[in-house]
Chains A and B, each alone.
Chain A
Amino acid sequence: AQSVTQLGSHVSVSEGALVLLRCNYSSSVPPYLFWYVQYPNQGLQLLLKYTTGATLVKGINGFEAEFKKSETSFHLTKPSAHMSDAAEYFCAVTGGNSGYALNFGKGTSLLVTP
């Protein structure tokens, strides 16, 4: 079955520092991968997704992620953190046994300090 593992339930960075949120996937077929962000008391918003083609995917708010098949990873990065980036981030996968249902990781809470 398709699954994702997010390494680090909490990540803290200083404002202006690099953001790196880790996601590894397990899949028997080519995966479709997504990153969503959830602000407090809100639903989920899509940051970016990988389907096929270019392995470096650019998303909203300056985020990007690179699909690395050899490492089964889809890590999310942003060069310079803003205070407004503080939120919960979820990696998700579809395809294979999961079909079209999003199979989410447990999430990573990003804290940005001044």
Chain B
Amino acid sequence: ETGVTQSPTHLIKTRGQQVTLRCSSQSGHNTVSWYQQALGQGPQFIFQYYREEENGRGNFPPRFSGLQFPNYSSELNVNALELDDSALYLCASSLGYGVQETQYFGPGTRLLVL
């Protein structure tokens, strides 16, 4: 069974650019959540996708957007990058979106904005 995978592992961008991060969910999982983890902090919820629809959003501006595809893989897009967007971006998949569901995390994409 393949776990959650993310690409790329590392990325360097400059302020104002746009970035796309990718996530492949664990086999059989239809729900993907994205989190931002700043250095020395716990992860912060960005948004969740369930069966290709956004199913909830944290306190992040609209320049953070996403997609989920029919195979349940997902993308996180960030426009107009700011220095504070530098962080580890984590994707997690789950069997559903219930409060008791275990979310399985990928290794993350480390983004540096210069």
Which residues of A are at the interface with B, using a C-beta cutoff of 8 A? Answer: 32, 34, 36, 41-46, 49, 51, 90, 92, 94-95, 99-107
Contact = CB atoms under 8 A, between A and B. Distances in A.
A32 to B, nearest CB: 5
B100 interface: yes
A45 B102 CA distance: 10
B72 interface: no
B43 A44 contact: yes
Contacts of B48: 100-101
Contact of A100 (B35, B90, B97): B97
B: interface residue count bin: 20 to 34
24 contacts: A32-B99, A32-B100, A36-B105, A42-B107, A43-B4, A43-B107, A43-B108, A44-B43, A44-B92, A46-B102, A46-B103, A49-B100, A49-B102, A51-B100, A92-B42, A95-B99, A100-B56, A100-B99, A101-B45, A102-B33, A102-B92, A104-B43, A104-B44, A106-B41
B66 interface: no
Contacts of A101: 33, 45, 48, 56, 58
Interface in B80-102: 90, 92, 97-102
Contacts, number: 62
Contact of B42 (A41, A100, A105): A105
Contacts of B35: 102
A24 to B, nearest CB: 14
A107 B42 contact: yes
Contacts of A43: 4, 6, 90, 105-108
